[in-house]
Chains A and B, each alone.
Chain A
Amino acid sequence: MSAFRDAGHLLRFAGLFVLAFIIFLVVRKFVVPKSFGEYGHYRGAAIGEIAAHPAHFAGHQACEACHADIADEKKGGKHAHVNCEACHGPLGKHADDPASVTPAKLDTAVLCVRCHAASVAKPKNFPQVDAADHANGVPCETCHKPHNPALEAGGAK
Chain B
Amino acid sequence: MNGVEGFMYPNEVELVWSVLIVLYPYITGLVAGAFILASLERVFRVDAVKPTYRLALLTALSFLLVAPLPLQLHLGHPERSPEMYFTPHSTSAMAMFGYVYLWYLMAVLVFEIWLDYRRDIVLRARRERGLLRLIYKVMTLGSDNISERSLHIDERVGWVVTLIGIPSAFLLHGYVGFIFGSIKANPWWSSPLMPVVFIFSAMVSGIACVMVIYMATSKLRGTTIDMGCVDTIAMYLFYTFIIDFSLEMLDLIHRIYEADESFRSLNFMVHTKLYFSHIVVQIGLGTLTPLVLLAITQVTKLSEMARKRIYALAGALTLIGIFAMRWNVVIGGQLFSKSFLGYTTYKVGMVTREGLPVAIALTLLPLLFLWVLVKLLPPWDDASAAHGATGD
A contacts B directly in the complex (CB < 8 Å)? yes
- List chain B residues, Cβ under 8 A from A13: 111, 114, 141
A31 sits at the interface (CB 8 A): yes
A106 sits at the interface (CB 8 A): no
- List chain B residues, Cβ under 8 A from A8: 143, 145, 150
Tell me if A41 and B87 are in contact (CB < 8 A): yes
- List chain B residues, Cβ under 8 A from A12: 141-143
A17-B106, A28-B86, A32-B86 known; A10-B157 Cβ under 8 A:
yes
A99 sits at the interface (CB 8 A): no
* Per-position 1/0 for B135-149, Cβ under 8 A of A: 000001111010101
B278 sits at the interface (CB 8 A): no
Closest-CB distance, B193 to chain A (whole angstroms): 30
Closest-CB distance, B174 to chain A (whole angstroms): 25
Tell me if B141 and A32 are in contact (CB < 8 A): no
Smallest Cβ-Cβ distance to B144: which chain A residue: A9
A135 to B347, CA, bound (A): 50
Interface size class of A (residues with CB under 8 A): 10 to 19
B153 sits at the interface (CB 8 A): yes
- List chain A residues, Cβ under 8 A from B387: none
Closest-CB distance, A127 to chain B (whole angstroms): 29
CB neighbors of B among A8-43 (8 A):
8-10, 12-13, 16-17, 24, 27-28, 31-32, 36, 41
Closest-CB distance, B84 to chain A (whole angstroms): 12
Contact of B150 among A7, A28, A31, A32 (CB under 8 A): A7
- List chain B residues, Cβ under 8 A from A2: 149
A16 to B140, CA, bound (A): 12
Closest-CB distance, B97 to chain A (whole angstroms): 16
* Per-position 1/0 for B116-149, Cβ under 8 A of A: 0010000000000000000000001111010101
B90 sits at the interface (CB 8 A): yes
Closest-CB distance, A110 to chain B (whole angstroms): 24
Tell me if B150 and A24 are in contact (CB < 8 A): no
A residues within 8 Å of B by Cβ? Answer: 2-3, 5-10, 12-13, 16-17, 24, 27-28, 31-32, 36, 41
- A28-B85, A41-B89 are known; give 12 further A-B pairs, CB within 8 A: A2-B149, A5-B145, A6-B149, A9-B143, A9-B145, A12-B141, A12-B143, A13-B111, A17-B106, A17-B107, A36-B87, A41-B90
Listed A/B pairs (19) with beta-carbon separation below 8 Å: A6-B145, A7-B150, A7-B153, A8-B145, A8-B150, A9-B118, A9-B140, A9-B143, A10-B153, A10-B157, A12-B141, A12-B142, A12-B143, A16-B141, A27-B86, A28-B85, A31-B82, A32-B86, A41-B87
